[in-house]
Amino acid sequence: MRTNASSLRFMRRAIELSRLHMELGHGGPFGAVIVKDGEILGEGWNQVTSSHDPTAHAEVVAIRQACARLGVFQLRGCEIYTSCEPCPMCLAAIYWARLDRIWYANDRADAAAIQFDDDWLYREVGLPMEERSLPTFQVLRDEAQAVFQSWDRKADKIPY
């Protein structure tokens, strides 16, 4: 996919958000915008430290804003422009939101060079569960399965 004046404008906005809100002390140097048909529907910047929310990454904030604005939970037909390659959490959120395309500026190695551990998380998630650094245990699966079975039978569910 080739860049054009619009894609550069939207990326510059994501970078501008990253700089502005980093300088204001809202969080790390990350910004994102969500665009559909040439219109910005959502903007986000890292708010992890200012909101005391480890999930308040720029991409997640932009997704939440765009979904709220449109009154939907999927963003088909939209693209995200982000000042850095999305971390695994944000990448998963982008997939769940069904965005059509990702544009990014800095990459995960650039983030690692300034002490953000996105690259480590990418490696960690790829490991078998028993090899990860976070101990993980499965309990009460039968009880939880009953809820899943109820969902499977639920006639008025909204699939996603």
Per-residue pLDDT of the chain (160 residues; tens, 9 = 90+): 677 888 999 999 999 999 999 999 999 999 999 999 999 999 999 999 999 999 999 999 999 999 999 999 999 999 999 999 999 999 999 999 999 999 999 999 999 999 998 889 999 999 999 999 999 999 999 999 999 999 999 999 998 8
Taking alpha carbons only, the member of 2, 3, 63, 1 closest to residue 36 is 63
Q: Tell me the whole-structure pTM to 2 decimals.
A: 0.93
- The active-site residue, picked from 43, 59, 79, 85, is 59
Provide the pLDDT for residue 119. Answer: 86
Decide if 39 contacts 46 (C-beta within 8 A): no
User: What pLDDT does 1 receive?
Assistant: 67
**Measured between alpha carbons, how far is 125 from 137 in angstroms, rounded to an integer?**
16
Rounded to 5 degrees, what angle do the CA atoms 121, 80, 72 make?
A: 100
The pLDDT of residue 34: 98
Question: Could you tell me if 82 and 58 are in contact, meaning their C-beta atoms sit under 8 angstroms apart?
Answer: yes
**Annotation says 59 is catalytic:** yes
- The span from the CA of 97 to the CA of 118, in Å, is 20
